[in-house]
Amino acid sequence: METIIRLIPYSVVVKVENGQLFQEDKLLFVDTAFFDLFSFELLHGDRNTALLEPFSLVLTQELAMKYFGSVDVVGRFLTLEAKHVFKVTGVVAEIPKASSINFSMLATINSAPDIIGSWIFHHWYHPPIYTFVRLKPNASSEEINAQIPAFTKARIGERQAYRSYSLQSLTAIHFTPELTNELVPTTSPVYMYTLSALAALILTLACINFTNLATVRSLARAKEVGLRKVVGAERQELIRQFLSESTMYVIIAFVIALVALEFLLPFFTSLTGKELDHSLLRNPYLILTLIALLFGVGVVAGVYPAFVLSNFQPIRIFRGEAGSSGSNKRGIRLRSALVVVQFAISITLIVSTAVIYSQLSFIQDKNLGFNKEQVVVVPVRDETIQQNFLRVKTSLQAVPGVSSVTALSNFPWERGFYDFPMKVEGMGKEFETDAPTLLVDEDFLRTLGMEISVGRDFLKNSSADANEAFIINATAAKKFGFENPVGMKLTMNSVSSGNPKKGEVIGVVKDFHFQSLYHEVEPLVITISPEIYYIDNVVVRLKTEHISETLSLLEAQWHNIVPDRPFEFFFLDQAFNNLYRSETQLASIFNTFSLLAVVIGCLGLFGLASFTIQQRTKEIGIRKVMGASVAGVVVLLSKDFIMLVLIANILAWPIAYYAMSAWLQDFAYRVDMSWWIFAGAGGLALFIALLTVSIQAVRAALANPVEALRYE
């Protein structure tokens, strides 16, 4: 290995020169070689010495402006955690949005023990320390991975059985959703593929429209082709002309798209939650790809019309026979097929949108087994709170508008459940297992409105319950295989620095969902926290009235207890809604693209209907003279298009069903795809198509038949 550095993320309270306090969640303690390994640009300071001395601090450009109102702040000071003074030694330029390493300040790692504690470099599990290495040019990551198990076993002994380590390419991290607790949240490549596929579908619809409208206009350009052939134009020249025209249309559209991009980027960001970097447009590979795409789309859109038009025979053109007979029938079949493809794509997107919204509604309305409304969570970032939790709880409980207060170790979406090895005994059974565990205080179940089905809840001020009582959920009772688990003996190891926690099950709580509905309910053990350092969150249930006033009173009370730490909180219901942010964005994306697809399809259908009606003008006039009603003419002109949309439904439904079934498989709890979703999407597409065609059909049916018979 050529270079090795460590990164320790931490959240600190920062006191600026005017006395203001800020909670800063993006501090990284790093080794001095940080700027040797990473290419972040330093606006001020020396990258070779900025992280050399203890209590040195490098700020981002944004944070320097926030704290000092300037970026030239080298030599100024900030106070961390109320008593540690750090000197600003550098200012980093804006961090690229695509970076997998995100921070707002960097501190020298040899200052970490003063802030976190001296134990951090001697503990094998917590806190998380991220290690980055640059391999030597000829080094093999596979060979190094093979050596890591022996290396770690020699240093942490038998505890190695609980963890495994391996090298992970930095470039592969972002699109590896299985990786958790990364410095920047990972994302699934599925969303990138979905966006790309939707963009390709919209582009396909546009190409279909161009092909359709260009072929229906073939008769209008027939005489032009005939004259050019008479004066000596070769077919290859005509093909090049028409392909050049289609490519020119694409280039003009591309220029318009670049201008529109500036105005639509904020909408795209809010729609997808992803912020595009303008600098990507200067990437030579992207430029080459766009150029290839431009000419590719131009050729794809124009190739069929070019070959159709260039194939016209001059003698037949001047006799008025262009586009007739077999070639015209082939053209009609092609145009019909393209209309079917357009509406099949539109119907597929409409069905997908409906299913996604149904699933979102299902997971947002599902009974989670507890009441998450009116619940405020205050993260605990201070040992003072942990050591004086009873005083804190009593003080917050006394605030008007507060219903109850409790404590919780952690939420599973943060870093998973705590998982402790335990021995289970009872009814002649004895076995060992690992069980996800919540460490709480005595009022946890009551505060969150969870329901005990068998046995009882924790008693208040009971030392016996605090030291010896466990509550399990219904899934755990089923897993353990006890008909009546109350009285079952549990011995929980590794939960305390002292002896294992031993006791018995006093109750069974009904299953509740403390994770997203991607996950099934796990067997869960709940017990009163045996150590103060498990108190990571204070949970406060508010009364329904005067919430904003109650929050202000809570903040004031908080500052009375810990004046050197800002009051932070979040609402529990909003936190659960955030678990489905990507699904909400996906629904919005499909909704937008479905609308685009329908609009593009209608534009093509409108043009095709206009051409068809134009071709049948005399027929319409004769039918009206013979007594045909307006409604009869409209039905006559519309039925062929209605048949095309019905065929599109038959093609789209199985495709949409397969795609959405695959998407729903990721959820442990999901909706059934009802028939009405498919029927509704098909009916909507049929209505839109009928409305589009009817506008032209009614106009033709209401026209004076004399004018129609004079039409040439």
Q: What is the pLDDT of residues 587-641, one digit of tens each?
A: 888 888 888 888 887 777 777 777 677 666 677 777 767 777 767 777 777 777 8
- Residues 442 and 345 reside in one and the same domain: no
Residue 173 lies in a domain: no
- Residue 450 DSSP SS3: coil
Q: Which residue has the higher pLDDT, 323 or 357?
A: 357
Query: Which residue spans within 285-417 are E strands per DSSP?
Result: 375-379, 402-408
Question: What pTM was computed for the model?
Answer: 0.73
Most confidently modeled range among 91-105, 118-132, 162-176: 91-105
Residue 567 lies in a domain: yes
- Residues 117 and 239 reside in one and the same domain: no
Other C-beta atoms closer than 10 Å to the C-beta of 267 total 10
Q: What is the mean pLDDT of residues 381-385?
A: 77
Assign 509 a pLDDT band (cuts: 50, 70, 90): very high
Q: Which residue has the higher pLDDT, 218 or 255?
A: 255
- Residues 498 and 623 reside in one and the same domain: no
Bridge partner list, 489: 425, 504
Angle between helices 235-272 and 581-615 (to 10 degrees): 150
Last residue in a domain, options 544, 577, 610: 577
| Residues ≥6 apart with Cβ < 8 Å to 448 | 370, 371, 372, 375, 406, 512, 539, 541
- Residues 267 and 404 reside in one and the same domain: no
Both structure tokens of 534: 């498990």
- Residues 446 and 523 reside in one and the same domain: yes
Q: What is the mean pLDDT of residues 250-278?
A: 78
Q: What is the mean pLDDT of residues 17-40?
A: 88
Range with the poorest average pLDDT among 101-110, 224-233, 588-597: 224-233
Residue 166 lies in a domain: no
Other C-beta atoms closer than 10 Å to the C-beta of 316 total 16
- Residues 382 and 405 reside in one and the same domain: yes
Both structure tokens of 559: 């500052």
- Count CA atoms within 13 Å of residue 357 on its CB side: 11
Bridge partner list, 504: 469, 489
Last residue in a domain, options 84, 110, 134: 134
- Residues 646 and 543 reside in one and the same domain: no
Answer whether residue 326 shows pLDDT above 50: no
Range with the poorest average pLDDT among 149-163, 195-209, 485-499: 149-163
> 109, 6 in Cβ contact below 8 A?
yes
**pLDDT recorded at residue 551:** 92
Q: Which residue has the higher pLDDT, 481 or 605?
A: 481
Both structure tokens of 99: 């970076």
**pLDDT recorded at residue 158:** 59
Residue 404 lies in a domain: yes
Range with the poorest average pLDDT among 67-81, 202-216, 247-261: 202-216
- Residues 52 and 109 reside in one and the same domain: yes
Angle at 273 between CA 270 and CA 277, to 5 degrees: 95
Q: What is the number of domains present in the chain?
A: 4
**pLDDT recorded at residue 534:** 83
Give 284: exposed, middle or buried? Use CB within 10 Å, 0-12, 13-18, 19+: exposed
Last residue in a domain, options 558, 577, 596: 577
Buried b (16+ CB within 10 A) or exposed e, 369-397: bbebebbbbbbbbbeebbebbeebbebbe
- Residues 340 and 481 reside in one and the same domain: no
Answer whether residue 162 shows pLDDT above 70: no
pLDDT digits (tens, 9 = 90+) for 401-424: 999 999 998 887 766 678 888 888
- Residues 420 and 549 reside in one and the same domain: yes
Residue 611 lies in a domain: yes
Q: What is the mean pLDDT of residues 253-280?
A: 75
Q: Which residue has the higher pLDDT, 402 or 293?
A: 402
- Residue 471 DSSP SS3: strand
C-alpha span between 362 and 368 (Å, rounded)? 11
Task: Count how many residues are written for the chain.
Answer: 712
- Residues 359 and 471 reside in one and the same domain: no
Most confidently modeled range among 34-43, 240-249, 582-591, 607-616: 34-43
In percent, the amount of the chain with pLDDT more than 70 equals: 85
| Residues ≥6 apart with Cβ < 8 Å to 174 | 98, 100, 184, 186, 187
C-alpha span between 485 and 474 (Å, rounded)? 10
| Residues ≥6 apart with Cβ < 8 Å to 706 | 621
C-alpha span between 323 and 317 (Å, rounded)? 8
Write the CA distances from 578 to 121, 370, 569, 571, integer angstroms: 34, 17, 15, 11
Residue 183 lies in a domain: no
**pLDDT recorded at residue 558:** 87
C-alpha span between 561 and 697 (Å, rounded)? 76
Range with the poorest average pLDDT among 203-212, 460-469, 590-599, 693-702: 693-702
Range with the poorest average pLDDT among 299-303, 407-411, 547-551, 614-618: 614-618
Query: Which residue spans within 64-153 are E strands per DSSP?
Result: 77-80, 84-92, 105-108, 130-134
| Residues ≥6 apart with Cβ < 8 Å to 53 | 87, 89, 108
Q: What is the mean pLDDT of residues 339-367?
A: 87
Summary mean pLDDT of the chain: 81
**pLDDT recorded at residue 590:** 84
Range with the poorest average pLDDT among 118-132, 349-363, 576-590, 681-695: 118-132
Answer whether residue 458 shows pLDDT above 80: yes
Q: Which residue do the tokens 């839109």 mark?
A: 688
Q: Which domain holds residue 226?
A: 219-322
Assign 666 a pLDDT band (cuts: 50, 70, 90): confident
Query: Which residue spans within 256-381 are E strands per DSSP?
Result: 375-379
Residue 388 lies in a domain: yes
Range with the poorest average pLDDT among 213-222, 428-437, 675-684: 213-222
Q: What is the mean pLDDT of residues 552-575?
A: 87
- Residues 557 and 431 reside in one and the same domain: yes
Residue 679 lies in a domain: yes
Assign 325 a pLDDT band (cuts: 50, 70, 90): very low
**pLDDT recorded at residue 96:** 81
> 509, 476 in Cβ contact below 8 A?
no
Write the CA distances from 483 to 104, 426, 475, 508, integer angstroms: 54, 11, 12, 11
Q: Which residue has the higher pLDDT, 453 or 302?
A: 453
**pLDDT recorded at residue 540:** 94
Answer whether residue 144 shows pLDDT above 80: yes
